[in-house]
Amino acid sequence: MGNVLGAELWGMLEGLNMAWNDGFKNVVAETDSSCVAQLLNTETSPNHPPFSLIQSCREIINKDWRCVVQHNNSEGNSTADGLAYLGHKMEIGLRFFDNPPVTIRDIFYSDGRGISSVRQCSLSNIPFS
């Protein structure tokens, strides 16, 4: 499936598999896609295009562990946002990091300490009434 939803679901599937295979027993899987969280937490029609990916994720979620999938805005997880940005600059393929890449190291450690960041927005040419 070559679209954003498919990529989000593949990422969730890989992450769930990694957590399960590494022996974690209490997992909160966060996604900045409210659609993915909804698809994995509610009944989905078998006719839905990514149904097989949804079912594969659910099979892992329903194994003998506590696994919750929840939506979190990208601002709530700056590390994931930074990795996604970095991913746009890399060749297609799955990457594993033993340590956070230099370009997001500060963000990673800030997230770990619970320090939030504000995304800059600029507004121009917006009429005020």
Q: Are residues 64 and 21 in the same domain?
A: yes
Q: Catalogue the E-assigned strands of the chain.
A: 26-31, 66-71
Average pLDDT over residues 17-43: 95
In a domain, 39, yes or no: yes
The better pLDDT of the pair 123, 114 is held by 114
Average pLDDT over residues 96-110: 87
99 Cβ contact list (under 8 Å, min separation 6): 105
In a domain, 112, yes or no: yes
For residue range 85-100, list pLDDT tens digits in order: 888 888 888 788 889 8
In a domain, 10, yes or no: yes
Q: Are residues 21 and 64 in the same domain?
A: yes
Place of tokens 């919750």: 68
pTM of the predicted structure, to 2 decimals: 0.73
For residue range 2-15, list pLDDT tens digits in order: 688 998 899 999 99
Residue 30, CA distances (Å) to 81, 83, 93, 121 in order: 12, 14, 21, 24
- Tokens, residue 122: 């600029």
User: DSSP per residue over 29-52, as a string?
Assistant: EEES-HHHHHHHHS---TTSTTHH
